[in-house]
Each structure stands twice: as structure tokens, then as C-alpha cells.
Amino acid sequence: MATKEYDVLIVGSGHSGGMAANILTKQGLSCLMLNAGPQADYAKDRTNKAVQDLPYRGFGKPGALEHVFQANEFNANQWVDEKENPYTHDPAKPYNWVRVRLLGGRSLFWARQSFRLSDLEFKAAEIDGGGENWPISLADLAPFYSRVEAIFRVTGRKEGWPQFPDGNFIEQTYPPDSKTIQTFTDICKKQNIGVSKMRSSQGQGGLASSINLLIPEAIATGKLDLVANAIVREITVDKATGKANGTHFIDRHSKREMHVKAKVVILAAGTLESTRLLMNSGLANSSGQLGHWLHDQIYGVSVVASVPEAQDGKAGQGLMGGSAFLPRFRNLTKADKRNFIKGYCVNIGSGGSAQPNHFAAYGDELQAKLDHYAGSCVTGSIYGERVARFENKVSINKNILDAWGIPTLHIDVKDSDNELNMAKDSADSIEEIFKTAGWEIVSKTDKFYPPGYSIHEVGTARMGDNPKTSVLNKWSQSHDIKNLVVVDGSSFVTCGWQNPTMTILALSMRACEHLVEEMKKGAV
């Protein structure tokens, strides 16, 4: 490895890096993939255990993973160790940076909700004046979405709604809606709110990850070398040409530093790790925009209602059960004036139960309430777009180093009134529908998790046509260094309410196919 020069070096092995390896190796390019963590052995690394046999009875080790609300005692070892990999933030501005460094990254554990962005997002500035438009439209990305959806075997119901673009879906037969879902749908229709079904990647064998859908084909070409436990410290540049020519990386175990050479460097380490690497390398920031515009989505807002007919053990099949999905229904036109811009989606589930925290009761009294509401509840869970703002940013903290001596990130993000107003509107709107249905509100909150919780962080190396206001061009190449390409979520201009995975995959596919053409022409 010390002397070989690869055509392309790929940093990261999640969805975006896996797609890059898949596309580029099939075009005959020699690729090296560096991944910061180990490769999990599912047979050796996982064991079936009863919760009572865990050391902390399921509470988890106290004080560990304080930023990872998704962590529990079963899955604690899959997340990045926050002591080895620290980051900082103002205590008054919490940020949950949720990381996985296993081969495959976060593609191993995502929820598989699979959506396209619409031109409401790509051309958002024209709709709401917030931020800037993407330099591409849905039409540019649609062919790539279709190919990604085929690989990931996305199921969904086609609707023909511009705010919820249809895709290349596997046809699915849905069972008849329960009476509860029918009632909910009828009320929404009267309010001109579209009700659909969840769109989801089926993948293969219950897994929709780079490690089973993308990387194996790349390895089969014989063109991919893969190195685990390789922590990239710095991108190196040829002083004569100004082009990227490789990276320094550190072996995770021995802490030995090595260098690898490549004609092109692709960053796919996840939004914040790729940004950290660019900043630590002092590259790609002639615009001064690198690290800014960090945003994700608000999670946590929810409303729970109980269907009176289903209370006291009468929650039979036909009455309860099933689900519905409401894509964005606010601010679809300029005429829809509210006290917030952007939008949110709602996931509806029927047939759940009330929880002990919903009641000011204990003992017999609490048990009676839990029995009363068991199986009778409908829950609306809301996910909304955070606005990308320049002042929400990351910077390098040279005073705090990770376990390999690499400077860490300081994250400085704060929500605005837009997020607060959107959350209130979303909780109020769902409560109103539930009340119209005659259901009893059990619980309602318009509070939401700190930024980062959604694990959908994007935007810190945004793309654009103007090199003075963006870090990447519309092909995900650095404006400053054309053979430096960033294919993860950092290129996003706006995130929308949608899970970003399909968009990240489509952008990576598009960027890599363009890169191949550029390399053939000798333009990179």
C-alpha cells in the first residue's frame, strides 16, 4: 500500500461510501476504502441475552453515551465511544452527535424510511425565501433515485403528489385499513391533508446496508481494497498541482501513522466527520462556508389519543391496528402563510397503549389506568425540518484531541422560533384531528430532542453554483480542488422533512458517474 497509487481513495464505508465503491469499481477504477472502525462479526459479536442477565438490568452503564439517546444496554457497544471520540458544545446548546464506526457505518442501523426530496426542498428559496436553492432539481436526481430504489427494494404507495414524489417502488398490497385509520383518513381528506403509507427500503434479509447491497459487488470486481481500523487524520495535497493526492491515516490499534496515494479522494465519512477532516486538512474553504449551515430534523413531538370504543379491553381487530403517513402538508404554496417556513410529516400508528409516564398515579390506581387504555391508543409522531442557518456551525477544537491525537469538533447549534413554532403547529394540528374523531387525548407534547438526535445531520459543505457561497459544485466536487469529492450528507443545501438516505445515495451515484466521465476526459 505504501507505494501503490489508487485511482480513488474512499474515506468511509456507509451508504455514500459503499455507493461510491460500487459505481467506481464497476467502471474499472482501482479503489481503496478506509474505515475508521472494525468489521463486526455478527455471529461472534452478538449474543441473545435476557434483560435480567445484563449487568445494569437494562438501564445501561451509567454515564456512558450521554449524547446517544438511542443507546440501550443491548446496543451500547455498537456506538462510537464518546470518551475515545469526544466533541464539545456549550452546555446551553446541547447537540447529540450519534456515530457508528463499524464497517458499514450507520447504514447498519437506519430506520429504512425511504423518500425522495421534492422541488419544494430543492427550490425552497423560491417557495419560502429561506436559505438558497439547491443547484439541482428533482428532475436532475430522479433517474438516480430510481436506480437507488431498485437496489434498496423500496416499497411504497404511489400518490402523484408533488410534495411527495413517487418512485421506482416494489408493488405492495396493503391490508384494509382499520376503522380507526379510516376515520383518521376521512377527517384529513376533509382538511385537504393527504394520507399515504410509509415508504421503506426492504433491502435483503432484513438489512439495507452498504455491507450487503453495495460493497460486496465492489469487492467482486477485484478492484476494491478495504482497510478497517484506519482513522484518517489529514488529506494531503501535491504542492505543485494543488490537487489532493492521498491521506495520512492512523491504525486504530497500533496508532502507527501511514500514508496512501490516490488520484482522487472521496469523502464519505458522514457529514461531520468529513467536515472535520477537511477542516483539519485546511482545505476546501475558500468560500468560508465550510462547517456552517449544520441542520437536521426535529424529532420528539407527539400526540397520543385513546379511542373510546376500544377502551377496557375492546380493542379488537378491525377497530384498531395499522398505520398511516402524512407527508408535508404545510406551506405547500406561497399562499399558505404561517408563523414558520418549511414543513413536517406525521407517522400515525394505531393499537398502542398508554404509558405509565402519562399519568399522575401509582400502584393500583396506575394499573387500572393502564388496563383501561390498553390497546386503544393512536399515536402521531412528528418529524420536521430544521432551517439551515449560517450561524449554526462547527469548528476545530485544538485543545481537545481524540484518542489518536486528532483535534476534535466544537459544535455550536441553536434552534430558532421557526422550529418552536413548527413543533407547536404540528402538535396542535394532530390534536385537532384526533379530537374531531372523538378520541380522548392522553398525552401531547410539542417539545423535541436536541439538534443531532435525528442522526440526519447535513449541510456543512453545501453545494452550489457560486464558489463564494458554497463549498461543493453541483457534482459534489470541491470548488477549490476538483479531485476532492464529498458524497455524504454534508453537500445538502436543505434537508427537508425526509429521511436523507435515498438522497445521499442518489447524489453519491450521480457524483461518481460524473467523476468517471471527468477522469476519462482528463479533467480531474
Partner 1 sequence: MAEGGRRFFTVPQFATLKKLGAIFVPPLKGNVGAVDTDAPEFLDYLIGVSPAERQTLYRSGLDGLNAQARRQFNKAFADLDNKQADAILKPLLTPVPWVYDLPKDPMKRFVYQVHQDLRTATRNSPAAAAASASSGRRGGAGGGLYWNPIDPV
Which positions touch partner 1 (CB under 8 A)? 37-38, 40, 44-54, 56-59, 62-63, 69, 73-78, 84, 102, 229, 252-253, 300, 302, 356-364, 367, 403, 443-445, 447, 449
**Residue 346: partners with Cβ closer than 8 Å, 6 or more residues away:** 325, 326, 380, 381, 382, 426, 430
Q: How far is the CB of 85 from partner 1 (least distance, A)?
A: 11
Please name the amino acid found at residue 486: V
> What 8-state DSSP symbol labels residue 207?
B
| Cβ–Cβ < 8 Å for 367, 408 | no
Q: How far apart are CA 491 and CA 470, in angstroms?
A: 9
What is the SS3 string spanning 408-459? EEEEECCCCHHHHHHHHHHHHHHHHHHHHCCCEEEEEECCCCCCCCCCCCEC
| Comparison of 16 and 78: residue with beta carbon closer to partner 1 | 78
The β-bridge partners of 155 are 170, 200
| Comparison of 4 and 57: residue with beta carbon closer to partner 1 | 57
| Comparison of 300 and 407: residue with beta carbon closer to partner 1 | 300
Q: How far apart are CA 14 and CA 21, in angstroms?
A: 10
Q: How far is the CB of 13 from partner 1 (least distance, A)?
A: 15
Q: How far is the CB of 428 from partner 1 (least distance, A)?
A: 14
Question: Degrees (nearest 5) of the Cα angle 204, 209, 215?
Answer: 100
The count of other CB atoms within 10 Å of the CB of residue 20 is 32
Q: How far apart are CA 356 and CA 278, in angstroms?
A: 47
| Comparison of 161 and 449: residue with beta carbon closer to partner 1 | 449
Q: How far is the CB of 30 from partner 1 (least distance, A)?
A: 27
Q: How far is the CB of 504 from partner 1 (least distance, A)?
A: 25
Q: How far is the CB of 401 from partner 1 (least distance, A)?
A: 15
What is the SS3 string spanning 60-81? CCCCCCCCCCCCCCCCHHHCCC
The β-bridge partners of 350 are 378
Residue 388 corresponds to which cell in the numbers above? Answer: 439551515
| Comparison of 447 and 520: residue with beta carbon closer to partner 1 | 447
| Comparison of 4 and 49: residue with beta carbon closer to partner 1 | 49
Q: How far is the CB of 104 from partner 1 (least distance, A)?
A: 12
| Closest residue by Cα to residue 454 from 82, 92, 68 | 68
| Cβ–Cβ < 8 Å for 415, 386 | yes
Q: How far is the CB of 357 from partner 1 (least distance, A)?
A: 4
The β-bridge partners of 352 are 377
Question: Degrees (nearest 5) of the Cα angle 5, 11, 17?
Answer: 110
Q: How far is the CB of 443 from partner 1 (least distance, A)?
A: 4
Q: How far apart are CA 266 and CA 269, in angstroms?
A: 9
| Comparison of 1 and 51: residue with beta carbon closer to partner 1 | 51
Q: How far is the CB of 486 from partner 1 (least distance, A)?
A: 27
| Closest residue by Cα to residue 34 from 230, 267, 272 | 230
**Residue 92: partners with Cβ closer than 8 Å, 6 or more residues away:** none
| Comparison of 270 and 450: residue with beta carbon closer to partner 1 | 450
| Cβ–Cβ < 8 Å for 32, 10 | yes
| Comparison of 46 and 314: residue with beta carbon closer to partner 1 | 46
- Scan for cell 453495495, then name that residue: 214
| Comparison of 39 and 202: residue with beta carbon closer to partner 1 | 39
| Closest residue by Cα to residue 294 from 78, 157, 148, 131 | 131
Q: How far is the CB of 54 from partner 1 (least distance, A)?
A: 7
Q: How far apart are CA 108 and CA 501, in angstroms?
A: 12
- Scan for cell 450519534, then name that residue: 98
| Comparison of 59 and 174: residue with beta carbon closer to partner 1 | 59
Strands 297-306, 440-445: pairing is antiparallel
| Comparison of 80 and 332: residue with beta carbon closer to partner 1 | 80
Backbone angles phi, psi at 411, to 5 degrees: -110, 130
Q: How far is the CB of 436 from partner 1 (least distance, A)?
A: 20
| Comparison of 109 and 169: residue with beta carbon closer to partner 1 | 109
Q: How far is the CB of 89 from partner 1 (least distance, A)?
A: 17
Q: How far apart are CA 352 and CA 310, in angstroms?
A: 11
| Cβ–Cβ < 8 Å for 214, 1 | no
| Comparison of 79 and 164: residue with beta carbon closer to partner 1 | 79
| Cβ–Cβ < 8 Å for 265, 9 | yes
Q: How far is the CB of 371 from partner 1 (least distance, A)?
A: 9
CA dihedral 337, 338, 343, 349 (to 10 degrees): -120
